[in-house]
Amino acid sequence: WMIKLSDKDRLIVQLDKVLGEARVEITELKLKLNGGNKNA
């Protein structure tokens, strides 16, 4: 049984997921670029 989402709600959920994944990738990239450098 699935909750019926409106198109807008579905889009918001999808954007949340994409933004969450992007945030993780950006954080990992920053750590790689800093490479132990404390100047974040």
| Cα maximum dimension of the chain | 50
Q: Pick 39 or 24 by higher pLDDT.
A: 24
Decide if 5 contacts 13 (C-beta within 8 A).
yes
Q: What is the pLDDT of residues 13-35, one digit of tens each?
A: 999 999 999 999 999 999 999 98
- Whether the predicted pLDDT of 38 surpasses 90: no
- Whether the predicted pLDDT of 36 surpasses 70: no
- Whether the predicted pLDDT of 1 surpasses 70: no
Q: What is the pLDDT of residues 3-12, one digit of tens each?
A: 788 999 999 9
Instruction: For tokens 């709600």, name the residue.
Output: 9
